[in-house]
Amino acid sequence: MYEIKNIKGVDIMQIKRGQIWWADIKVGNGSIQRSKRPIIIVSNNLCNAYSSVITYVCLTSKQSKAKLPTHVRIERHCGVSVPSIALCEQPTSLCKDDLSTYIGICDKKTMDNISNALMIQLGIGDKIYA
């Protein structure tokens, strides 16, 4: 069983969908995000409570990114130091051990926008773009 530990004052059993963390992403090439960067947890809370792995999307502060239906603006009230963009075209998994510092949490409207962007990316429901 996965050992429960404390990451910068937050019990890993309390990791929740919508939280923003700094993470050490070790794998990536080309346009795939890597290095130490902020992420938003998008996996469901049952998974977050019992699995050693979470699903996330990366944030970028580059506002010059192409405006895609899979990009969601993240404002400062969510805890980021500068307005950022969630790159929902790249949902990826990560071990909880690679989370380092809790930053903040997205509000419901922002998470609804992220959910819609993920449905577009994954072709779920009526969010399919041909």
Q: What CATH code is carried by the domain that includes residue 14?
A: 2.30.30.110
Beta bridge partners, 7, equal: 10
Per the structure, how many domains does the chain have? Answer: 1
Q: How far is CA 119 from CA 10, 48, 88, 99, 123, in A?
A: 29, 20, 9, 25, 6
Q: What does the pLDDT read at residue 125?
A: 78
Q: Distance (Å, rounded) from C-alpha 102 to C-alpha 19? A: 8
Would residue 68 count as lying in a domain? yes
Listed as ranges, residues in the chain with pLDDT below 50 are 1-6, 29-32
Would residue 98 count as lying in a domain? yes
Could you tell me the residue range of the domain that residue 117 belongs to? Answer: 6-122
DSSP state of 68: -
Q: Distance (Å, rounded) from C-alpha 126 to C-alpha 54? A: 26
Instruction: Decide if 106 contacts 114 (C-beta within 8 A).
Output: yes
Q: What does the pLDDT read at residue 70?
A: 95
Instruction: Decide if 78 contacts 30 (C-beta within 8 A).
Output: no
Would residue 64 count as lying in a domain? yes
Q: What does the pLDDT read at residue 2?
A: 34
Would residue 19 count as lying in a domain? yes
